Amino acid sequence: MNVAEKLVPVVCPWCSVGCRFYAVSVNGYIRRIEFDYDHPTVNRGKLCPKGVASYQFINSSKRLKKPLKRVGEKGEGKFEEISWDEAYRIIAEKIKEIKETYGPEAIAFLGSEKITLEENYLVHKLSKAIGTNHLDFPGRYCQYSNSPARMAVFGSAPATNPFEDVAKAELIVIWGHNPAETAPVFFGQYIEKALDNGAEMVVIDPRATRGHKYASMHLKPYPGTDLAIALALLNVVISEELYDREFVQERTTGFEELKEAVKDYTPEWAEKISGVPAEDIRKVARLIATKRTALLVNEGMNQHVNGFEMAVALANLIAITGNIGKEGVWSGVFPGAQCGFCAAMSGIAPNKLPTGKLVTDEAARAELERLWGFKIPDWVGFDLTTMIREAGNKIRMMYIVAGNIAKSAPNSGWVREQLKKLDFLVVQDIFLTETAKYADIVLPAAAWFEKTGTAISAERRVQRTYKAAEAPGEAKPDWLIIVELAKELGLGEYFKYEHPDEILREINSVIPVFKGATPEYLAEHPEGCFFPCTEPGEGTKVLFKKGFKTADGKAHLQPVKWREPPEMPDEEYPLWLTNFREVGHWHTGTMTFESPSLEKRWPEEYVMINPKDAEKYGIRSGDLVKVETRRGSILVRAEVTEHVREGVIAMPWHWNVNFLTLDVIHEKTKMAELKAVAARVRKVEE
Amino acid sequence: MSKKIFLDYKRCIGCKACEVACEMTHGEARIRVFEFPDLFTVPFNCRHCEKAPCLNVCPTGALFRDEDGAVAFDPLKCIGCLMCAVACPFGVPKLDEENKIMDKCDLCADRRAEGKLPACVSACPTEALKFGDVNEILWNREGRVVANLKESAEKGEGEKAYIVL
């Protein structure tokens, strides 16, 4: 028997910092991990608890091992095992039937931020080959405020600088972000290094986050009202003439309109709305305008209906203070999953082609049709929330790859009812998730360490991860499932792939920003390259040094108006409910709940209540309380703590909080309200 | 001089990567992160005391000091008498209920033998855990203080200079 240990270089499957380590693999099983200090890795060998425990879930006995066909009611979770051939046959027949009855526009696809670049690319290609543009991914609820806003202002959304520039910043602004828990390695290796170098830190959050003890200022707005603070910052920077004159003059347009738009948004006005002292807002504005700033924002800003306006305001602020296009500054999107960019950059969106161009762009479509060899639909499809809304109506079938929308989408009680209305649902995943329980056919997929592929981190670093373990039972990598299904559908000629390398080579020729990220280059350079990497080589580390990606190369400053959150506390529901992430869990917990070391330390959900509110409602730490909004209620334990401001309650989101959130969406970005809804809380007698 | 794990609680963010890394290596976490209401968190493991009471009271010699100075442990010699647990002022040795023998931090003897750092130190994302000789660690810290003072003096901020540890 061969028991030789193999060291397989892998990229961590959780957040988007892009940590690398070795999986020590013995005969197709991961025995342990080894820290990787040898290469110029982003994590310098360090790992967070999720990273250290990252292979536990793949050995869970609950892994899907064979394709399943539903025998019980939708949502009940009763299935029988079938063969792959039968599963492909049923799916292909159903797709043909629905296409004939309703047309291809009745079919919707979801890609995922949890699968590789190659796999997302294939999901995209398959959806277009079937003839539908109803294509999205759960990242819709992630960066879809910040990303379109930065597209509008700078012409490009991703992070402007590598992480090492964060360590060189003079001011770290952490706004609606909790990197000490969501990205501990990034916090320890870059933010703490900046603090060592004498940087100042400002936190803007209704909660005291883990990193808060390093901050010199902590602004605590009510959830969803920080747009007022952003507007007031713009107002102060402009009225006190603190902006970077030269930069504004040479590299931006629309300054006068912006000046006009924010002239009434004084810090005093913002104080009334957000509850943050005007003087603090002034101080922060002066700091941002005078120091090299790393502005770290995340879901606290993104997951609001007014998040788009907020993100535009911040992009304006970055531009007018000149905190862009140079060393020692940082701003950009920070995906919550290891492969957010894998979905976004392969064009997983209702209006995009993988090349990054719009589906409505005839020339771009013709070019892609030439490359791919089949006709591409020209209409703009539905976003995720609209898909759910149209389930059973315009959308008859959904094909979900590695997404758990029955738990991650807002107002999940409603989402589950909508999923029942579909004629046919296919879910491809590694566990029988809440969403998979509503599926007609469930396909067992290989997990992250069981396949080779490309991952892209938050700093635009493109890295290769390699197969370290065998998938259990008959589970297969997502790319292979798509290829085989395509063959069953008679589309085999467009999906002739035997290995992910072949898919990546096609991506090199189709997606311009990845032209230089060839399988050969990435194999030789484990540290990867920064996209856009148009030639094999390091790629582009700092963006916008000279021009922006807009048509005229200038940053387009946009006037921004105050917009209220769609639901505000009232007499009936007097509190703001917001949510947050825990260091030991990831997204809907599909994988981390199957990891004993993590589950043991972060066992259950709870609600954080300020002592003043707790006294008002007669609640003590450990009490069982009912948290209620207009959508539903859940029972949780209370934790009375100073770490959440008065008037606000906060819950970790990995469990059930989305039964309480709101499916109202922004008209342009389609972002829902996931972080600021009106709620009430009362003690439940035991 | 023996090497130990030193704890810089100011850098700790309470992520418990050390606990999980230890658990993944030894099956049970031998380091623990204590959390306080004001967001302070302190990771705490066996101190491998220079005058180790556990080692002194062990009747069978199951506890011994290894070449790096760690208070290590031979499971075959342990009779589960719990004397070490009684003697330790920090409550570090724990009974392995299944085998009825004691279990404690040995500074990852296996890893050290391969020239690697203890697992908790390897993982710690903020470098709140440092492995080294006491003088080496203190000199580094002192070096930073001196550098800070020097920098302030060069900037002409003599009166503003204060010690930042």
Look at chain A and count its residues: 686
Question: What pLDDT, in 10s, does the model give residues B72-117?
Answer: 999 999 999 999 999 999 999 999 888 999 999 999 999 999 999 9
Q: What pLDDT is stored for residue A536 in this prediction?
A: 81
Residue B70 placed within a domain: yes
Task: Please list the residues that pair with B3 across neighbouring strands.
Answer: B133
For A508, the token pair is: 């090199």
The β-bridge relationship of strands B41-44 and B32-35 is antiparallel
**CATH, residue B120:** 3.30.70.20
Instruction: Please identify which residue in the block is written with the tokens 């003439």.
Output: A241
The verdict on B53 touching A (C-beta cutoff 8 Å) is no
Q: What pLDDT is stored for residue B162 in this prediction?
A: 55
Residue B102 placed within a domain: yes
Q: Which domain holds residue B102?
A: 8-131
CA atoms of A250 and A552, how far apart (whole Å): 12
CA atoms of B54 and B114, how far apart (whole Å): 27
pLDDT band at B144, cuts 50/70/90?
A: confident
Question: What pLDDT, in 10s, does the model give residues A573-616?
Answer: 999 999 999 999 999 999 999 999 999 999 999 999 999 999 99
For A410, the token pair is: 């807002």
CA atoms of B15 and B13, how far apart (whole Å): 6
For A157, the token pair is: 């959304």
What DSSP letter does each residue of A81-116 carry, written as one string? E--HHHHHHHHHHHHHHHHHHH-GGGEEEE--SSS-
Q: What pLDDT is stored for residue B147 in this prediction?
A: 79
B19/A48 Cβ within 8 A: no
Average pLDDT, chain B: 89
Find out whether A95 and A489 touch, Cβ atoms under 8 Å: yes
Amino acid making up residue A555: A
Residue A529 has pLDDT above 60, yes or no: yes
Rounded mean pLDDT, B36-47: 91
The residue among A681, A669, A671 whose CA lies nearest residue A149 is A669
What DSSP letter does each residue of A577-642 carry, written as one string? EEEE--TT--TTSTTGGG-HHHHHHS---EEEE-HHHHHHHT--TT-EEEEE-SS-EEEEEEEE-T
- State how far the alpha carbon of A130 is from the alpha carbons of A344, A375, A488, in Å: 20, 10, 12
Residue B161: count of CB within 10 angstroms of its CB = 14
A51/B123 Cβ within 8 A: yes
Residue B37 has pLDDT above 90, yes or no: no
Q: What pLDDT is stored for residue B151 in this prediction?
A: 75
For A541, the token pair is: 């580390």
Terminal Cα-to-Cα distance of chain B (whole angstroms): 24
CA atoms of B20 and A53, how far apart (whole Å): 7
pLDDT band at A685, cuts 50/70/90?
A: confident
Within 8 A of B20 by CB-CB distance, chain A residues are 49, 52-53, 597-598, 601
The residue among A400, A633, A196 whose CA lies nearest residue B126 is A196
Residue B139 placed within a domain: no
CA atoms of B151 and B148, how far apart (whole Å): 5
Rounded mean pLDDT, B26-33: 94
pLDDT band at B156, cuts 50/70/90?
A: low
Residue A1 has pLDDT above 60, yes or no: no
Residue B163 has pLDDT above 70, yes or no: no
Question: What pLDDT, in 10s, does the model give residues A642-652?
Answer: 999 999 999 99
pLDDT band at A104, cuts 50/70/90?
A: very high
Question: What pLDDT, in 10s, does the model give residues A29-64?
Answer: 999 999 988 878 899 999 999 999 999 999 999 999
Find out whether A565 and A224 touch, Cβ atoms under 8 Å: yes
What residues have CB less than 8 Å from A208, skipping those under 6 apart?
A218, A642, A643, A644, B39
Residue A170 has pLDDT above 90, yes or no: yes
Residue B112 placed within a domain: yes
pLDDT band at B158, cuts 50/70/90?
A: low
Residue A422 has pLDDT above 90, yes or no: yes
Q: What percent of chain A has pLDDT over 70?
A: 99
Find out whether A12 and A47 touch, Cβ atoms under 8 Å: yes
**CA triplet A629, A634, A638: central angle to 5 degrees?**
100
Q: If you measure CA to CA, which chain A residue comes closest to B20?
A: A49
Residue B123 placed within a domain: yes
Burial of residue A619 (CB within 10 Å: 0-12, 13-18, 19+) is buried
φ/ψ of A522, rounded to 5, equals -70, -30
Residue B147 placed within a domain: no
Q: Which of B16, B30, B42, B152 to mutate to test the interface with A (most CBs of A within 10 A)?
A: B16
The residue among A121, A33, A589, A657 whose CA lies nearest residue A339 is A121
The A-side interface with B (CB below 8 A) comprises 32-33, 35, 43, 45-49, 51-53, 180-181, 184-185, 187-189, 192, 208, 210-213, 583-584, 597-598, 601, 641-643
Rounded mean pLDDT, A134-162: 95
Please give the tally of structural domains in chain B. Answer: 1
Q: What pLDDT is stored for residue A366 in this prediction?
A: 96
Residue A180 has pLDDT above 60, yes or no: yes
Question: What pLDDT, in 10s, does the model give residues A246-289?
Answer: 999 999 999 999 999 999 999 999 999 999 999 999 999 999 99
CA atoms of A110 and A346, how far apart (whole Å): 13
pLDDT band at A532, cuts 50/70/90?
A: very high
Within 8 A of B39 by CB-CB distance, chain A residues are 208, 210, 212-213, 643
Q: What is the dihedral of CA B146, B151, B157, B158, to 10 degrees?
A: 30
Q: What percent of chain A has pLDDT over 90?
A: 95
Find out whether A206 and A176 touch, Cβ atoms under 8 Å: no
Question: What pLDDT, in 10s, does the model give residues A485-502?
Answer: 999 999 999 999 999 999
Burial of residue A393 (CB within 10 Å: 0-12, 13-18, 19+) is exposed
Average pLDDT, chain A: 95
Burial of residue A246 (CB within 10 Å: 0-12, 13-18, 19+) is exposed
Amino acid making up residue A228: A
Residue B54 placed within a domain: yes
Residue B33 placed within a domain: yes
Q: Is B23 helix (H, G, I), strand (E, B) or coil?
A: helix
Task: State the smallest CA–CA distance between residue B123 and chain A in angstroms.
Answer: 5
Residue A2 has pLDDT above 60, yes or no: no
pLDDT band at B146, cuts 50/70/90?
A: confident
pTM (two decimals): 0.95
B17/A48 Cβ within 8 A: yes
CA atoms of A334 and B22, how far apart (whole Å): 29
Within 8 A of A49 by CB-CB distance, chain B residues are 15-17, 19-21
Residue B21 has pLDDT above 90, yes or no: yes
